[in-house]
């Protein structure tokens, strides 16, 4: 097996109870080009991911270049020899980075030296025609240019095995042709390179030496391409694939499309004039016009992102056009016009079925949504199930159905209310050829027999050729409208695809052709060998810096993320420090005096002379006490009984009533203490005035240390600064990792020689830096805005909070290692940070009052130690020796979080 690039034996893979791969065995020799064909959901991506080593092997054997991919060491050594380009436009790209930065990142990821990087990047960008656009962000590239850039990133380290998962799906024909020509030309330079490609376009696979065909997780063909076509007695590979399918999946109909004949003097169903849609400065649809008569199948042909779906949404009232107008069934398009919308059926690109409902329940729900009269529900649903052959599947759920039948169910739902217009947005994407033929049989019947006008978007050329007329669209503009045959003859092209390419060539002035001669000349020169070692300290640090530099560039170019990273803590400080205060403010006091004696007036004056009370309007009767407290007219009511003065002079201890608003217990407790203080002062003065010497025992004079004025701003500001540094950096760090999981760029980690530790540390460092800058801003705001000085050692406080930021961002890494969505990351990080920080860190009560499990939580969470550093630096005048214990604790906590994150983060998918 020394000459084999890939060897598989009884390879099986499961997603829950679903068998994605079923005992697949095959051998692929080195230096071959292999096409992998089959519709969505048959296991193509799973198979390629297992070969690339980015997915965990469950059952069976996978060997690449003679090494077992189940072994971690083997995957690490092979990562330099394998390049994997995942499914999806630009899935391995970073959209805010430029073309050059993207390729440079991948070059650094595989350890290329500066000289190697510069030479290799220039060489690949020249070959792909991307060099003139090297500074353009990847997010502003067309689909074809994104795929070329993805290929450059995959080829940067000169792999021996190139794995491409549907690299041209949704790309316009010209870009597809250029892409495959580029792959062909680059193989001239590296003839020993093995190429395995999964493709949704079966005709593309005919150009490969070998073909692998899959269905339902099984390999149904593994042979040279031309040999397979001959053995199945087929004219092309698509016919051969259909013949290999089980009999129940084959299309038994030979599609015959009767010619479309427009009825005379009949109004057009859809009319668009100068439709334009802009999103800020981006023009998605530019001056589109067409007329569609009743019963016609009108095809909208174009690549992903060219404006097809946007045009359809404007025609259905889901989007308002920026310019232009359109009519549907003779009425101006208005999203609020329910009557017109009831006459339209819409089938979106993504399945809009309710997974928890059965087939019959889905159709019944659609009948209700379109307000079909209740007595007719059963008739409409039964007719739809009979027409689309769904009776035997009535009690099954959509998730249990094959892709082709799910598509048929969605068409049945769209046609349930008997619409006059049917709008279909790429309805057959990912469906096998036989199911596509069956689907088109339904469309032809709806058009010719029921006279339903069908507006369908697609990027399959063989489907477009079945339409009565097609509109060729590119970059938001309609290039041409006509029958497929008319468009072909106008360009004197052998096929509609070739005609589309020629239309594109007229529009694009800067078409980039592969520089074949240059590649062949450079192929004669022995390329500099790529250094594939990753063992020494310098290379390991370089890998960390690679991730950190890339994350830093993305952060600097994302204004919203950068704003929240830097200014989020500042906003939190300004809002919370300005609004949260435990300072005692004068309370409103109302008096009900039944005595009106000199002694009662003296008591009232004692309250008026206190800085803790402000006298309000006096009360007249006891019935006013409760309403006064309920309406918060006063927070304290003093009721002095009749004969108060007489009894006081007789030393009979008269009673008075004090009513305190206890809605806020802490405030009420403070008011009770203030009342007791005033009464105590009043009694002492009264006794002295009457010559009675009553010694006061245990008199204490409290003196506040560090916060002599007892102002809460001096305690709250350092606490809020600590809270901000615990919360915002942790959330930003968690989001940065989970975001890569969501968009798919985490594949760059899975398929690279980088370790999980290098990846996480590199992702963390930019957020540590931004958080530290934000901390410096917080200190400045605290001093200048709130007047809270730093009384301790500034270097000691800065160093301590740096350790605190490391710990908080480490916690964000830990959260990111087990959550899969950005929403979950935000909520999980916020909740897990806020609860222990506010309750167990010493913000509200000293940690010395905690015990049991709560005390343990306090000690293992960084906020309690960061609080000691923040308060110690701002108010207590502490320095390095005083904070040493907190330093050590934060360092241990950070290393623990980072270690757990490295353990929990997986370098392979399940």
Does residue 525 lie in a domain region? no
The verdict on 316 and 455 lying in the same domain is yes
Q: Give residue 105's pLDDT.
A: 93
Statement to judge: residues 478 and 605 lie in one domain: no
In the numeric block, the tokens 């087990």 are attached to 818
Any idea which residue has 């009420």 for tokens? 668
Give the pLDDT confidence score for residue 509 in this predicted structure. Answer: 52
Q: Is residue 695, in this structure, part of any structural domain at all?
A: no
Which of 319, 425, 415, 305 minimizes the C-alpha distance to 370?
Answer: 415
Q: Are residues 568 and 592 in the same domain?
A: no
C-alpha atoms less than 13 angstroms from C-alpha of 434 in its C-beta half-sphere = 19
Query: Is 107 inside any structural domain?
Result: yes
> Across the strands, what pairs with 374?
none
- Specify if 856 maps to a domain: yes
Same domain (yes/no): 469, 557: no
Residue 170 pLDDT: 67
322 and 232 housed in the same domain: no
Coil, strand or helix at 345: strand
pLDDT score recorded for residue 253: 57
Distance of CA 463 to the CA centre of its chain: 33
pLDDT score of 540: 80
- Over the stretch 10-40, which tens digit does the pLDDT of each residue have? 999 998 888 889 999 999 999 899 999 988 7
Q: Is residue 362 part of a domain?
A: yes
Tell me whether residue 360 is in a domain: yes
**Residue where a domain stops, chosen among 507, 536, 560:** 507
Instruction: Report H helices in 515-624.
Output: 516-523, 537-557, 559-579, 598-608
Q: Give the Cα separation of 270 and 218 in Å (integer).
A: 45
Find the DSSP H helices in 316-470.
338-341, 359-369, 377-387, 403-415, 433-448, 461-464
List per-block mean pLDDT (blocks of 10 residues) for the chain, which spans 910 residues.
Answer: 85 87 91 88 88 92 92 89 85 89 92 88 84 86 79 88 84 77 80 88 86 90 91 87 79 72 81 87 85 90 76 80 87 77 76 81 88 83 85 84 77 85 79 75 86 84 87 86 91 89 74 45 44 61 92 92 91 84 77 89 88 88 89 89 85 86 80 86 78 55 55 80 94 92 88 91 96 95 90 93 96 92 91 90 78 86 92 88 94 96 90
Question: Is there a single domain that holds both residue 290 and residue 313?
Answer: yes
DSSP assignment of 458-514 equals ES-HHHHTTSSEEEEEETTEEEEEE-HHHHHHHTT-SSHHHHHHHHHHHH-SS----
How many CA atoms lie less than 13 Å away from 737 in the CB half-sphere?
38
CB atoms inside a 10 Å sphere around CB 276: 16
Terminal-to-terminal C-alpha distance of the chain: 28
The verdict on 790 and 893 lying in the same domain is: yes
Instruction: Give the closest residue to 714 by CA, choosing from 582, 841, 840.
Output: 582
Q: What is the pLDDT of residue 101?
A: 93
Q: What are phi and psi of 138, to 5 degrees?
A: -60, -30
Kindly state whether residues 64 and 138 are assigned to the same domain: yes
Angle of helix 713-743 relative to helix 756-784, nearest 10 degrees, comes to: 150
In the chain, DSSP finds a helix count (H) and a strand count (E) of: 33, 24
Residues contacting residue 448 through CB under 8 Å, at least 6 positions apart: 258, 260, 295
Among 775, 806, 833, 812, residue whose Cα is nearest residue 892 = 806
Edge to edge, the sheet with strand 297-301 lists 344-347, 421-425, 453-458, 297-301, 469-474, 477-482
Domain CATH number, residue 388: 3.40.50.300
Maximum C-alpha span of the chain: 127
The helix, strand and coil proportions of the chain, stated in percent and rounded to the nearest 5, come to: 50, 15, 35
Among candidate residues 190, 215, 249, the one where a domain is terminated: 249
* CA atoms within a 13 Å half-sphere pointing along the CA-CB vector of 567: 6
- Model pLDDT for residues 364-378, shown as the tens digit of each residue: 988 888 888 877 888
Report which DSSP code applies to 594: S
Closest by alpha carbon to 241, among 219, 273, 258, 267?
219
Q: Which residue has the tokens 């931004």?
A: 770
Residues 558 and 606 in one domain: no
- Residue 252 makes CB contacts below 8 A (sequence gap 6+) with none
Q: Is 137 part of any domain?
A: yes
404 secondary structure, DSSP code: H
Number of separate domains in the chain: 4
* Radius of gyration for the alpha carbons in the chain, expressed in angstroms and rounded: 37
Residue with tokens 């062949």: 520
Cα 403 to its chain centre, rounded Å, is 26
Residues 420 and 441 in one domain: yes
Q: How far apart are CA 205 and CA 225, in angstroms?
A: 8
Measure the CA–CA gap between 323 and 277, rounded to whole angstroms.
7
Q: Distance (Å, rounded) from C-alpha 664 to C-alpha 169? A: 64
The candidate with the shortest Cα–Cα distance to 28, out of 1, 5, 53, is 5
- Which run of H or of E encompasses 285? strand 282-292
pLDDT at position 254, please?
A: 62
**Full domain range(s) for residue 322:** 270-507
| 2: number of Cβ within 10 Å | 6
pLDDT at 191: 83
**Domain match, 793 and 888 both:** yes
Residue 157: CB atoms within 10 A of its CB come to 23
Q: Is residue 254 part of a domain?
A: no
In this prediction, residue 59 carries a pLDDT of 92
Residue that is last in its domain, among 249, 282, 307: 249
What is the per-residue pLDDT for 463?
81
Within 10 angstroms of residue 239's Cβ, the number of other Cβ atoms is 15
For residue 460, the model assigns a pLDDT of 75
pLDDT value at position 528? 45
CA dihedral sign, ordered 498, 504, 510, 512: negative
- Based on the fold, state whether residues 405 and 483 are members of the same structural domain: yes
- The per-residue pLDDT for 350 is 59
How many degrees, rounded to 5, is the angle at CA 141 between CA 137 and CA 144? 140
Element (H, E) at 888: helix 880-904
């Amino acid at each position: 097996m020394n000459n084999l690039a890939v060897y598989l034996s009884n390879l099986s893979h499961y997603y829950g109870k679903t068998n994605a791969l079923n005992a697949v065995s095959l051998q692929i020799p080195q230096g071959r080009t292999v096409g992998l064909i089959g519709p969505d959901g048959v296991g193509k991506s799973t198979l390629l991911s297992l070969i690339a080593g980015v997915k965990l092997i469950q059952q069976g054997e996978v060997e690449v270049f003679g090494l077992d991919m189940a072994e971690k060491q083997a995957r690490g050594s092979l990562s330099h020899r394998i390049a994997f380009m995942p499914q999806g436009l630009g899935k391995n790209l970073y959209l805010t980075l430029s073309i050059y930065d993207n390729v440079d990142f991948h070059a650094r990821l595989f350890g290329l030296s500066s000289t190697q990087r510069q030479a290799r990047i220039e060489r690949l960008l020249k070959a792909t025609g991307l060099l003139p656009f090297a500074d353009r962000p990847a997010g502003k590239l067309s689909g074809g240019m994104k795929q070329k850039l993805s290929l450059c990133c995959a080829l940067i380290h000169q792999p021996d095995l190139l794995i491409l998962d549907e690299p041209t799906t949704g790309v316009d024909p010209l870009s597809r042709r250029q892409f495959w020509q580029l792959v062909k030309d680059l193989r001239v330079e590296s003839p020993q390179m093995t190429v395995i490609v999964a493709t949704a376009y079966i005709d593309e696979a005919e150009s490969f030496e070998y073909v692998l065909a899959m269905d339902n997780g099984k390999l149904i063909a593994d042979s040279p391409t031309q040999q397979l076509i001959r053995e199945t007695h087929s004219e092309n590979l698509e016919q051969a694939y259909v013949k290999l399918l089980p009999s129940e999946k084959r299309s038994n109909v030979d599609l015959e499309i009767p010619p479309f004949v427009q009825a005379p003097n009949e109004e057009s169903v859809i009319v668009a004039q100068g439709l334009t849609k802009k999103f800020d400065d981006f023009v998605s649809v530019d001056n589109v016009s067409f007329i569609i008569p009743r019963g016609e199948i009108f095809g909208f042909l174009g690549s992903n992102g060219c404006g097809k779906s946007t045009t359809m949404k404007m025609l259905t009232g889901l989007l308002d056009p920026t310019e232009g107008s359109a009519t549907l069934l003779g009425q101006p398009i208005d999203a609020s016009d329910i009557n017109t919308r009831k006459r339209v059926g819409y089938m979106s690109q993504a399945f809009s079925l309710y997974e928890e409902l059965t087939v019959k329940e889905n159709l019944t729900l659609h009948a209700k949504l379109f307000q079909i009269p209740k007595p007719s529900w059963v008739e409409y649903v039964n007719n739809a199930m009979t027409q689309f052959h769904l009776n035997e599947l009535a009690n099954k759920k959509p998730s249990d159905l094959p892709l082709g039948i799910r598509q048929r169910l969605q068409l049945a739902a769209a046609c349930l209310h008997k619409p006059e217009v049917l709008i279909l947005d790429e309805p057959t994407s990912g469906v096998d050829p036989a199911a596509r033929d069956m689907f088109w049989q339904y469309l032809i019947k709806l058009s010719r027999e029921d006279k339903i006008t069908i507006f369908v978007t697609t990027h399959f050329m063989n489907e477009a050729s079945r339409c009565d007329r097609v509109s060729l669209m590119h970059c938001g503009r309609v290039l041409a409208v006509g029958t497929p045959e008319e468009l072909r003859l106008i360009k004197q092209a052998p096929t509609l695809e070739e005609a589309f390419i020629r239309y594109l060539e007229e529009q694009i002035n800067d078409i980039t052709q592969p520089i074949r001669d240059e590649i062949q000349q450079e192929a004669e020169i022995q390329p500099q060998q790529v250094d594939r070692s990753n063992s020494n300290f310098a290379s390991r640090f370089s890998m960390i810096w690679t991730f950190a530099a890339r994350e830093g560039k993305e952060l600097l170019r994302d204004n919203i993320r950068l704003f929240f990273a830097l200014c989020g803590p500042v906003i939190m400080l300004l809002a919370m420090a300005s609004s949260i205060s435990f300072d005692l403010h004068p309370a409103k006091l109302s008096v009900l005096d039944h005595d009106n004696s000199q002694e009662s007036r003296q008591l009232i004056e004692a309250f008026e002379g206190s800085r803790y009370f402000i006298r309000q309007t006096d009360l007249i009767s006891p019935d006013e006490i409760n309403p006064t407290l309920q309406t918060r007219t006063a927070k304290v009511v003093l009721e002095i009984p009749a004969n108060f003065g007489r009894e006081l002079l007789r030393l009979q201890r008269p009673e008075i009533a004090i009513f305190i608003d206890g809605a806020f217990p802490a405030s009420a407790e403070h008011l009770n203490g203030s009342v007791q203080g005033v009464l105590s002062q009043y009694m002492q003065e009264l006794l002295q005035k009457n010559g009675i010497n009553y010694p006061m025992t245990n008199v204490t004079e409290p003196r506040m240390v560090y916060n002599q004025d007892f102002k809460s701003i001096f305690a709250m500001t350092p606490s809020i600064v600590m809270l901000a540094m615990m919360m915002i950096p942790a959330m930003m760090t968690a989001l940065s990792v989970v975001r890569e999981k969501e968009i798919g760029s985490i594949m760059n980690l899975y398929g690279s020689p980088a370790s999980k530790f290098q990846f996480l540390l590199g992702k963390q460092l930019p957020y540590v830096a931004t958080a530290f800058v934000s901390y410096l801003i917080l200190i400045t705001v605290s001093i200048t805005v709130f007047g809270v000085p730093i009384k301790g050692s500034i270097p000691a406080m800065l160093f301590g909070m740096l350790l605190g930021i490391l710990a908080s961002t480490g916690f964000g890494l830990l959260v990111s290692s087990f959550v899969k969505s950005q929403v979950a990351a935000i909520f999980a990080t916020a909740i897990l940070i806020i609860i222990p920080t506010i309750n167990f860190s010493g913000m509200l009560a000293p940690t010395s009052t905690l015990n049991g499990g709560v005390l343990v939580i306090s000690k293992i969470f960084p906020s309690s130690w960061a609080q000691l550093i923040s308060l110690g630096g701002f108010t207590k005048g502490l320095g390095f020796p005083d904070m040493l214990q907190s330093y050590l604790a934060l360092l241990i906590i950070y290393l623990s979080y980072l270690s757990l994150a490295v353990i929990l983060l997986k370098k392979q998918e399940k």
